[in-house]
Structure 1
Amino acid sequence: MRTAAQNAELALLIEVAGTPKPGNVDRERDLPGLRFEHFLAGAVGAQGGLRAAERGERVGAAFERAVEGMADQRGGNTQFGALLLSMPLVRTAGEGELTPEAAAGTVAATTVEDAVDFYRAFDHVDVRAGDPPEEMEPLDVRRGSDAAEAIRTRGLTLADLMERSADRDGIAREWTDGFEQTFEAADRIAALDGPLPARAAETFLWLLAHEPDTHVAKKHGESTARSVMVRAQEAREGGPDHVRAFADSLVESGINPGTTADVTAGALFVALERDGLEV
């Protein structure tokens, strides 16, 4: 029987193995400087932090440890968002039943030191972030551990930080609304038939067709994110050839729906852990 940490690692591996996964690395497509093997190494490297979360260590400390291990490969940031989404879920599963209510309780229990650890994670890897308003510069995530004093002075918990970002970041939104999309996508994965990587790829496209990807919105603008959402639904309706053409077009345009991939990974973990899906 797999542990929660092992299910989380397996979820990361299955997520990247799903194909086609428009705009993202999968087992049949690499991107410049970012290859399938980097994601495999990132998932394995994160295991120490996942185990720490399962045995009850603070969410922020476990996350920072997982990111440090994930970054021990040449591709850079492979699963930062997926680990941020999954960490409170793994911690919850390690303590008992994995439900939205229990996961929300884990989020609510985060502390200022968890927030400091979250910032420390940015010391290990480059993550896309826009320029904050002038009054928020002391809390710019790109400062990494240098922002610790500002976080402690303001008394911000990790839950507070996620709430501040929820209107523009899909992972933060999951933290603040009880992981609604994650559990809904997990239900879909559990209900589908066939190999789990194929279920993951189908669920990725379903998610992309239902809500604008916030990573795309940050990089390319809200209108592009909404256009990608519409095109994803058209591809789903058109069938496999349309999906493959859609995937090619996103890569050619440099559009990477990374948040959707992160939610898919979190949903896979929930489906494996809560529903006991067999592999």
Structure 2
Amino acid sequence: MRTTAQNAELALLLEVAGTPKPGNVDRHRDHDDLRFEHFLAGAVGARRGLEMAAVGEPLGESFLAAIEGMSEQRGGNTQFGAVLLQLPLVAAAGDGDRSLTPEGATAVVEATTVADAANFYRAFEAVDVAVDDPPEGMEPLDVRRGSDAVTELESRALTLRDVMERSADRDGVAREWVDGFQRVFAAAESIEGGDGPVADRAARTFLGLLADEVDTFVATQHDRATAEAVTERAQAALDGEVDPETLADEFVAEDINPGTTADIVAAGLFVALERGLDV
């Protein structure tokens, strides 16, 4: 029987194995500087941090360990957002006083500390993460400052939950943290209710999520209009008007990478595996 941490690692592996996932690296498609093998190595590298969260170590320390391990491959950022989404779920699943439910994961989020936020910031020093510029007046809290922002965090007594709340209006991963992981649990139900190989179920779930809501990473990478067009094109693929394989090739050629949607699928896979999904 797999442990909670092993299920989290397997979820990362299954997510990248699913195909087609329009715009994302998968087992059939690489990007010029980011390849399938990098994601496999990133998932394995994150294991120690996942294990820490599962046995109740502080969430910030667990995240920092996971990202430092994830970064030990040549591709750079592979699963920063996916691990960030998984960790409260892993902690909830591993804690006998909580459960792997939206309420259990929210309890983990609500219990985060200023020290957790500080380690979250330090994780940005391990790997280059694409993020929006902070709102005016928030430059001292720019996550790209890494440990240089820790004094400011401490002076404002901001927990990791507080940090996520400040980004929730423009970042889909942060929104999940403060909204009870609604899309993550919906993704788990979609995967559980599907048929065929699990990786293929995950790919179908990815397309459905992408058609349902704008991917905030695409909005950061390009702009809001591009992200909205991506959603419309994903819906066309769902409706059978476009071949998802063709759409995947088009998105790769256009450098469109719906990373937030992939992160949600990875977290949803973890929930499904913990609930007993057979692989």
Answer yes or no: is 1:206 the counterpart of 2:208.
Answer: yes
Answer yes or no: is 1:116 the counterpart of 2:118.
Answer: yes
Deviation at 1:132, TM superposition (A): 2.0
The number of residue pairs the alignment matches comes to 277
Q: 1:154-191 deviations in whole A, cap 9, x for unaligned?
A: 00000000001000000000000100000011011001
- Structure 1 counterpart of 2:257: 256
* Percent of residue pairs bearing the same amino acid type: 64
TM-score (norm: length of structure 2): 0.98
- Structure 2 counterpart of 1:79: 79
- Structure 1 counterpart of 2:65: 65
CA distance in 2, matches of 1:225, 1:81: 18
Q: 1:71-106 deviations in whole A, cap 9, x for unaligned?
A: 000000000000000011001100032110010000
3-state secondary structure, aligned to 2:56: coil
Query: Quick check: which one's helix share is greater?
Result: 1
Deviation at 1:131, TM superposition (A): 2.4
Q: Which amino acid aligns with 2:80?
A: F
Q: Which amino acid aligns with 1:2?
A: R
CA distance in 2, matches of 1:265, 1:8: 8
Q: 1:40-95 deviations in whole A, cap 9, x for unaligned?
A: 00000000000000000111110010000000000000000000000110011000
Deviation at 1:219, TM superposition (A): 1.6
3-state secondary structure, aligned to 1:39: helix
Deviation at 1:121, TM superposition (A): 0.3
Deviation at 1:221, TM superposition (A): 1.1
Answer yes or no: is 1:276 the counterpart of 2:276.
Answer: yes
CA distance in 1, matches of 2:137, 2:224: 24
Deviates more, 1:134-143 or 1:23-32: 134-143
- Structure 1 counterpart of 2:148: 146
CA distance in 1, matches of 2:158, 2:218: 28
Answer yes or no: is 1:236 the counterpart of 2:268.
Answer: no
CA distance in 2, matches of 1:91, 1:134: 34
CA distance in 1, matches of 2:133, 2:80: 19
CA distance in 1, matches of 2:223, 2:33: 24
- Structure 2 counterpart of 1:106: 108
CA distance in 2, matches of 1:278, 1:243: 26
- Structure 2 counterpart of 1:19: 19
Q: 1:215-269 deviations in whole A, cap 9, x for unaligned?
A: 0011211111111111101011117x61111111111111100000000000000
Deviation at 1:130, TM superposition (A): 2.6
Equivalent residue runs for 1:40-59 within 5 Å: 40-59=40-59
- 4+ residue runs over 6 A deviation: none
CA distance in 1, matches of 2:74, 2:58: 28
- Structure 2 counterpart of 1:127: 129
CA distance in 1, matches of 2:176, 2:133: 23
Measured on the aligned residues, the alpha-carbon RMSD in Å equals: 0.9
3-state secondary structure, aligned to 1:5: helix
TM-score (norm: length of structure 1): 0.98
Deviation at 1:116, TM superposition (A): 0.1
Deviation at 1:133, TM superposition (A): 3.5
Deviation at 1:18, TM superposition (A): 0.2
List alignment gaps of at least 5 residues for structure 1: none
Deviation at 1:134, TM superposition (A): 4.3
